[in-house]
Structure 1
Amino acid sequence: REQAIGYQAVRKPDATHVQITGIPAEQLEEARRVLQENYAGSAVSPAYVVGSLPAEQSGFVLEMSPSLQAQLRQEAQRNSIETIRQRVDALGVSEPTIAEHGRGEWEILVQLPGVDDPARVKSILQSTAMLEIKLVEDGPYSSETEALAKTGGILPPDSMLLREAPGARGAQAGGLQWYIVSRTSVVTGRDLRSARSEPNPERPGAYQISFSLSRDGAARFGPFTERNVGRPLAVVLDNRIQSVAEIQSRIDDAGRITGTFTLQQASDLALVLRSGSLPASIRYLEERTVGPSLGADSIRAGLTSAVVGMLAVSVFMLFYYRLSGVNAIVALALNLLLLLAALAYVGATLTLPGIAGVALTIGMGVDSNVLVFERIREELRLGKAVVAGMEAGFDRAFTTILDTHVTTIVSAMFLFMFGTGPIKGFAVTLTIGLVANLFTSIYVSRAIFETLLSRQARPTGLSI
C-alpha cells in the first residue's frame, strides 16, 4: 500500500507461507523489489524466500527461511517458559521446576511438587488465553453458511468469521451464533494492566472477569470507541467470542468478559490473563505422578540422616572438647531452631534439597566451633589467662569464620539466581542456616563461655 501497488488478497495458507495475489501485471517487478527489500533479509541471515505464484494468480509467495523458523521456535519456547512460570508462581506452588527439555526447541519440563488438583493446573498451564477486542462488522448469523452467503462466499481480506463460545449471551438465547469481525484487534492481552474475577450482576450466581488496560492500550482504545459509538464490539478469547456489546460512549481503560463462569473458572481465567498469553499452543506429551508415600519416604530418610549426623557430631564434640562440647551442642541446636523458624516465617517448604542444606549447615556450624575451640587451646598453651585466652580465641577465629560464611553465601546467591526450583530451595535453606550460624557460633557460644567464667571468682581452667 505504501508503494501504491495494487493487490487483491493476502492470505496465510500455513504457518510458514504468505501469499499475495491479484497484483497488476505491470507492477509485478516493482512488487518483487519491495518484497525483496523488506522481507528477504540478508544472505547470511535470510528471513523469507520470495517466490512467484502461477501466472493466473499474478502474485508472490513468501516462505519463511529455516533459520527464521528456528529463531521463532526458540523465542516461543523462552516466552512460553516465562508465561508458565508466572502462572505457576500465581498458584503458589513451592519450588517448581520449569526448564527446557529434550531437543531444546519443542519440549518444556514442568515439575510441581505438592499440587492437590493436577487437572486444574494442567488446564491453567495449557490455556493460550489470547484476549482480543475486535470491531463487529456484521452479524449475528445462525450458521457459518449463512454468514458466508451474506458475503458471496468469500470474506474480505481484512475480515474473519468467529463463533460464540459456549456460555456466551447468544448461546443462552438459542444456540451459538457467528459474527464477521475485523481481523485487526483494537487491543490485545498484551495491553492488560490487571484482571480480576467478580460476580456478574446481570446473571445471578455467575461470575465475570473485569480488566483494565495499560496506558498505551487506553490511548488506542479511547479514541477508537469514540469514533465507533453505536457499533458493536466483540470480546474474543482464544478465537471464540465471549460477548458482544454496543459501544454507548467513549471507553478509556476498562472492560469485562461475561459468560456463565463459575467462581473457580473466573478466577483461573483472570490468573492466566494477568500472566499473559502463550505465544503458541501447547500439548502434554507425558505426565508422571510421584505418590505421596514415595515423597514421604524420601523426606523421612533425609530427616533421619540429618538427625543421625547431628547426634554423631554431638558425641564427637563431647568426647573431644569435653564440657565445652556442650557449649557447641547448645549453639548448634539454637542454630537449627532459628533456621526452622525462619523457614516457617517465609512459608518455605522443607524438601529434600532443603534437608541437604540443613545437613550442610550442621557441618558449617561444627567447623566454626572447632575453629574457635582450637584457637582458644592455642592461646591457653601460650600461657594466657583463661578469660584472656577465651577472648583472644574468638577474636582470632572471627575473621576466618566470617570469610568462609560470606564466600559460601555468595555461592548460594548465584545458585538461587540461576538455579531451578529444588536448587533455589537448597540455596535459601543454606543461606538462612549460615546467617544463623554466624550468630550462634560467635555471639551465643561466647556469651555461654563468659557467663560460666563470670561465676568463678578466679577462673583457673577451661574444660576444652
Structure 2
Amino acid sequence: MLQIPLWKRIVILGLCALGLIGAAPNLFYDRVERHNDAVAAVERTKVETEQQTAAIDLWPSWLPSAIVNLGLDLRGGAHLLAEVQVADVYKQRMDAMWPEVRRALVSEAKVAVRRIKGAPDELRVEIDKPEAMEKAVEVVRGFSSPVVTLTGVGQNDLAIRTEGNQIVVTLSEAERVATDDRTMQQSLEIVRRRVDAAGTREPTIQRQGDDRILIEVPGIGSAAELKELIGTTAQLTFNQVIRRSANKDEPAGVGNVNYPSAEDEGVYYILDELPVVTGEELVDARPDFDQNGRPAVAFRFNTSGARKFGDYTAAHVGELFAIVLDGKVISAPQIRTHIGGGSGIITGTFTPEQTNNLAVLLRAGALPAKMEFLEERTVGPELGQDSIDAGRVAAIVGTVAVVFFMIASYGLFGVFAAVALGLNLSMMFAILSTMGATLTLPGIAGIVLTVGMAVDANVLVFERIKEELKTARGPARAIELGYEKAMSAIIDANLTTVIAALILFFLGSGPVKGFAVTLMIGLITSVFTAIFVTRLFVVTWFARKRPKTLVV
C-alpha cells in the first residue's frame, strides 16, 4: 500500500522544520554575527557596554544563533607560514645544564672547570686535571636519562665525548628527534592559545613538514597584527639585580647578563643569569591596577613557584628584583617585605590594552623557540566579498538550471524535487552551522556540486516509476515499486561518493577537507530528501487527488 505511517511523517516534517530553523540565522548573517560576538565578549570580560547591549539586541536570544563561519578566502584575514627555530631549544638545554654540571664536577670529581665557547648546541667543559677525566665523564653521564619515545628505546638523551682535557656534551640524535617533536607540539598549542584568546573566529593552525606551522586567521586586520600577536616569545623571568648601569657595553661578569630597561632609556641592569622564578611557573595572569590606579598585570605562581618566590623575597628585603620580559627589564621594584602566597603585580608604563595583551601572552606561556616567518599574506575583505558574490552566483545559476530541468522533464514531480532541493540546502546549512564549520571557496564548490547531485536520486526514482507504469500496473503500485527498486541504486551511487569524500578528508589539506565535509553532508541530506521527503510529497498528493493515470 502507498502509505506512510503518522510517526514517520512527523519525523520527516520535524527534521525539515529543524533544517529551516537552523539555517535561518545565516540569512541575517551580519546581525547574528554581531550578536554572537557581543555575547562572547560579555562572557569573557563579565562587563557589558552600551554597544554590546545594542549588538545583543539585534537577534532574539530565544532563536538559534549558530551560523556558518566564513574562511580566510571569504572573510579576509591574515595568512602566515612560520618556521620554528628548533635548534634554539638545544642551546637552551645546554645552557640550563651548565650550572648543575659545574657544581657536580666541582663537588664530586674535585676538579676546577670552566665553560669553553663552542657550537650553540653543545656544552664544552674544560677541566684542570686530565687524570680526573674518567671520573668527570662518569659524573656528567649521571645527568643523562633514557629517551622517552618508541623509536628511541634503549638510547640516552645525551651524547658525551672527550677532546683532550675537554668534555663535550650534546643531545643524542634520538633525543633531537623527540625534542623537535615536543617543540612543534608545544609551539602549535601556544599559538592556538594566543589566537583563541584574542577572540578570533575559527582559525586554521596546523603543522606543515618537520618545522613549519601554517596559521590562517579570518577577520584579523593584517598579517603584521597577527605576527605581533603570536610572534612574541613572551619569556618572563624574575632575576636578582646585581647593580644598575648606564652603559650597555659594561661587562656583566661571569654568570651575569646586561639587560636594558624597557621603561627608562639609557638605564641598564646587571642581573644574575639564572632566574629565581620563570613564567613557566605562572598559573594565572590578568589585567589589573596598582595602588595608584595605573594599569598593571596581576600574576599568580604555582606551588613550587610560590615557594621559591616567597623564600627569595624573605631573604632579600630592601634589594631590587627585576621582572624581565624577552630580554628587557620591564620593572625592577624594591622588595619592601616578604611576599608570601605566590602572587603579585607587574607595574610599568602600560596602557590598558598593553596589560591585556601581556596577560594573554603570559597565560598562553612562552614559545619554546623563536619563529621565522617565511610567508605572510593579508587577504582584504573586498576580495572575500568578491568570492562570496561569485559563489552565490554559481549556486543560484546551478540551482535554477537544475530546477528548470527537473520541472521541464517531470512536471509536478519535478516541482516536488525542486522543493526537496531547497529543504536539502537548508538542512546542509543547519548542520554546518551546528558543527561550527568554516566555509571556504572549496566548501562552496562542494555545495554547488551537491546541488547537481541532489536530484540524481530523484531522477532514478522517477525513471523507475516510468518503467513500472509500462507494465500496466496502477499508479499507486508503480510509485511504490519505483521507490523500492531505485533504493539500491541510490545507496550504491552515494556510498561510493561518500567513500571518495572520506579519503579526501583524511588525506587532504585544509581546503580539500572543507570540500569533503560539505560534499559528505550534502550527500546525506540529498539522500534523505530524495527517499523520504519527495516520497512524502508524492504520497500526500496522490492520497488527495487519486489520479487514474500518472504522467511523469
TM over 0.5: yes
Match of 1:227 among 297, 300, 311: 311
Q: TM (normalized to structure 1)? A: 0.76
- 1:195: Cα distance to partner? 3.9
User: Is residue 96–residue 420 contact of structure 1 (8 Å, CA) maintained in 2?
Assistant: no
CA shift at 1:355, angstroms?
Answer: 0.7
Residues 381, 429 of structure 1: alpha-carbon distance in 2 compared, 3 angstrom cutoff: same
2:122 to 7, 17, 22: 17
Q: Aligned partner of 1:237: which letter?
A: L
Change in Cα spacing, 1:348 to 1:211, as seen in structure 2 (3 Å) is: farther
Q: Which has the larger displacement, 121-130 or 235-244?
A: 235-244
**Does 2:245 align with 1:154?**
no
Change (3 A) 1:439 1:242: farther
Structure 1 contact 162–241 (Cα < 8 Å) conserved: no
- Could you report, residue by residue, the CA deviation over 1:78-115 in whole angstroms, capped at 9, with x for unpaired residues? 54344334434444254536442xxx455544444443
What stretches of structure 2 of length at least 5 have no aligned partner? 1-103, 147-151
C-alpha deviation, 1:220, in angstroms: 1.2
Note the 1:284-299 alignment, pairs <5 A. 284-299=373-388
- 1:225-264 equivalences under 5 Å are 225-230=309-314, 231=316, 234-244=322-332, 246=335, 248-252=338-342, 254-264=343-353
Distance 1:437 1:130 in 2: 53
C-alpha separation between the residues in 2 aligned to 1:383 and 1:271? Answer: 75
Aligned to 1:48: 159
The equivalent of 1:96 in structure 2 is: 204
390, 399, 404: which is aligned to 1:310? 399
For 1:328, the equivalent position in structure 2 comes to 417
Amino acid at match of 2:413: S
Opposite residue 329 of structure 2, the aligned amino acid is I
Q: What is the CA–CA distance in structure 2 between the aligned matches of 1:414 and 1:248, rounded to whole Å? A: 62
Distance 1:296 1:145 in 2: 51
SS at match of 1:163: strand
CA distance in 1, matches of 2:489, 2:356: 53
Gaps of 5+ in 1: none
Number of positions where the alignment pairs a residue of Structure 1 with one of Structure 2 = 434
Match of 1:141 among 244, 268, 289: 244
1:299 deviates by 4.0
For residues 29-85 of structure 1, what are the alpha-carbon distances to aligned partners after superposition, in whole Å with 9 as ceiling and x for unaligned? 2213444686699999995352325xxxx5423355677667655654454344334
Q: 2:272 aligns with which of 169, 181, 190?
A: 181
More deviation, 329-338/313-322: 313-322
**Counterpart Cα distance in 1 of 2:385 and 2:178:** 43
Deviation readout 1:159-198 (Å, 9 max, x if unpaired): x33536514xxx4xx8644152361553433x444443x2
Q: CA deviation at 1:219?
A: 3.0
- 1:443 is aligned to 532
Is the Cα–Cα contact under 8 Å of residues 123 and 168 in structure 2 kept in the other structure?
yes
> Structure 2 vs 1, CA of residues 49 and 224 (structure 1 numbering), >3 Å: closer, same or farther?
closer
Aligned-partner SS, 2:549: coil
Tell me the distance in 1 between the aligned counterparts of 2:177 and 2:348. Answer: 39
Supply the AA of the counterpart residue of 1:450: V
The superposition leaves residues 376-435 of structure 1 with CA deviations (integer Å, 9 ceiling, x where unpaired) of 344444554433443444355456645665675576566556654323433443344344
- Residues 199 and 82 from structure 1, CA distance in 2 versus in 1: closer, same or farther, beyond 3 angstroms? closer
Give the structure 1 partner of residue 229 of structure 2: 124
Quote the residue 1:463 is aligned against.
551
C-alpha displacement of 1:326: 1.0
Supply the distance in 1 between the matched residues of 2:329 and 2:484 (Cα, whole angstroms): 73
Percent identical pairs in the alignment equals 34
Counterpart position of 2:21: none
For normalisation by structure 2, the TM-score amounts to 0.65
Whether contact under 8 Å (1:309, 1:359) holds in the other structure is: yes
Shift, 1:338, TM fit: 3.2
Code of the residue aligned with 1:129 in structure 2: it is A
- Secondary structure of the residue that 1:224 maps to in structure 2? helix
Structure 2 CA distance for partners of 1:398 and 1:212, relative to 1, 3 Å? farther
Question: After the TM superposition, which of the residue ranges 221-230 and 327-336 deviates more from structure 2?
Answer: 221-230
> What corresponds to 2:190 in structure 1?
83
Change (3 A) 1:145 1:116: closer
Q: How well do the aligned residues superpose, as a CA RMSD in angstroms?
A: 4.0
SS of aligned partner of 2:340: coil
1:270 to 340, 350, 359: 359
The whole-number CA distance in structure 2 between the counterparts of 1:442 and 1:48 is 67
Name which of structure 1's ranges 113-122 and 376-385 shifts more when overlaid on structure 2.
Answer: 376-385
Q: Is the 8 A contact 1:226 1:251 kept in 2?
A: yes
- Structure-2 change in CA distance of 1:38 and 1:370 (3 Å): same
1:224 maps to amino acid: K
Q: Which amino acid aligns with 1:339?
A: M
1:81–1:223 CA distance, 2 compared to 1 (3 A): closer
Contact 2:297–2:345 (Cα < 8 Å) also in 1: yes
What's the counterpart of residue 262 of structure 2? 166
Residues 421, 529 of structure 2: 8 Å contact kept: yes
**What corresponds to 1:387 in structure 2?**
476
Aligned with 1:368: secondary structure?
helix
Contact 1:314 1:329 in 2 (8 A): yes
Q: CA deviation at 1:226?
A: 4.4
Instruction: Report the equivalent of 2:38.
Output: none
Instruction: Give the SS at the match of 2:329.
Output: strand
1:28 aligns with 2:133: yes
Shift of the 183–37 alpha-carbon distance from structure 1 to 2, 3 Å rule, reads closer
Task: Report the secondary structure of 1:4's partner residue.
Answer: helix
